[in-house]
Structure 1
């Protein structure tokens, strides 16, 4: 059996742990501390991606297909963008690579000036400065979950046992992904992240089998099934609204979506 090689999605990922209490109000996709990530900010990026033209192709090549991005993917990018900025500021972490929005834009097949490409590039740069702990060996439960995810994604044959798959999957790449998930999840445990029930569970992939099949993910905010629940509405908080795509230093109570 040859399981497909795991593909790293990012150098590290930020793990978020929701604190006690539940917050929600109409028009808010997620909270990070006292900052709201609004549905308006998400809508603006959804509209951009829906109307954007694919990146130009070389002469003679067929037109590129328009990239598809799910709404939760946009929300997780905006949440992580804010969290990473806060973690870096509080801990004194410095990005190891500069933002490269043009490179991200071309890799994702987005149109010039894409706000989403800018936000993703800023996030990638910020994540490059976050430390990763020592490699962590997967538990039996983690390996079982990983193999089941691979079978669901169709990249591991159904007849392959966990023991057979572990021999090929358990390596430095997987152990570093588990280390990033653990150490960074612990590091940002004090950040108050709350996600709108419609997006739960909201996860960020640290390692993937392919673009549509996460292998190791970090939970952002609370667990849940996406069902809407009745909760109290808090007082209004600072909003997150889209900008023209320029990189902006984060200010207390605001974030650029």
Structure 2
């Protein structure tokens, strides 16, 4: 796990600060309304099922596999599917408004390998687009990222602790040491404001059962990429696991 050292961002994807996100439309079979487009529960299920992997379990005398058949391996959650699809839609809107092009920061092969999902899955493809699109937006706003607040630093730290990517128990001074200048956190919250604005402008709303909504984030560590989800509500201590 990461200790009190600088945490460098390889891809900065903001917390989804959707202040304008209203759950005003309530068809039970709809997960999210993205303007005049719907993301249905059936679509969520299709993406979720496609992100499942198969793996042969290790021998366990107490629970032997039936005929050595593969079993479903680690996959994403339905919540994370909704998080990604809404984030990607808003990211496309922001990129268009800002005149931003995608940056080829990662390939679908790399993303699928890091996430442990099939390379041909919709989840892997959409996640790759989200990362590259978000990286393009971040590149534009990073010239003047500003200074991260103590609350913003703490929220990112808490999210990393939740996925066991960094040790718990840091005080603020140690968090600042681990995050260096913290510019990646400040820039992430600038992107948050842009996503928030896009959500309001496009009349985006999400089924209450998928709230609070989080955005995928990824940072680098000495052991590789670290994926985690940061709640859209700033200051919330509710963090969705990547399990």
Range class of TM-score, shorter chain: 0.5 to 0.7
Query: How many pairs align?
Result: 209
TM-score scaled to structure 1, two decimals?
Answer: 0.64
Judge conservation of contact 1:16–1:191 (CA < 8 Å) in 2: no
What SS class does the counterpart of residue 129 from structure 1 fall into? helix
| RMSD of aligned Cα (Å) | 3.7
TM-score scaled to structure 2, two decimals?
Answer: 0.67
In structure 1, how many angstroms separate the alpha carbons of the residues matched to 2:105 and 2:10? 18
| Residues 89/27 of structure 1: CA separation in 2 closer, same or farther (3 Å cut) | same
Residue-by-residue CA offset, 1:38-67 (whole Å, 9 max, x unaligned): 1111100122233x436xxxxxxxx99823
Q: Give the corresponding residue for 1:168.
A: 177
Moved more, 90-99 or 117-126: 90-99
Q: Give the corresponding residue for 1:107.
A: 114
Give matches, 1:150-169, under 5 Å.
155-158=166-169, 160-163=170-173, 165-169=174-178
In structure 1, how many angstroms separate the alpha carbons of the residues matched to 2:156 and 2:92? 30
> How far 1:3 moved relative to its partner?
3.1
> How far 1:197 moved relative to its partner?
0.8
> How far 1:102 moved relative to its partner?
2.7
> How far 1:199 moved relative to its partner?
1.2
Residue-by-residue CA offset, 1:106-159 (whole Å, 9 max, x unaligned): 33333352221111122222223212242332323334545555666663343x
Q: Give the corresponding residue for 1:28.
A: 30
In structure 2, how many angstroms separate the alpha carbons of the residues matched to 1:29 and 1:100? 28
| Residues 93/203 of structure 1: CA separation in 2 closer, same or farther (3 Å cut) | same
In structure 1, how many angstroms separate the alpha carbons of the residues matched to 2:136 and 2:49? 31
| Residues 168/87 of structure 1: CA separation in 2 closer, same or farther (3 Å cut) | same
* Structure 1: runs of 5+ lacking an equivalent: 55-62, 226-257
Answer 1 or 2: which has greater helix percent: 2
The structure 1 residue matched to 2:204, chosen from 182, 193, 200, is 193
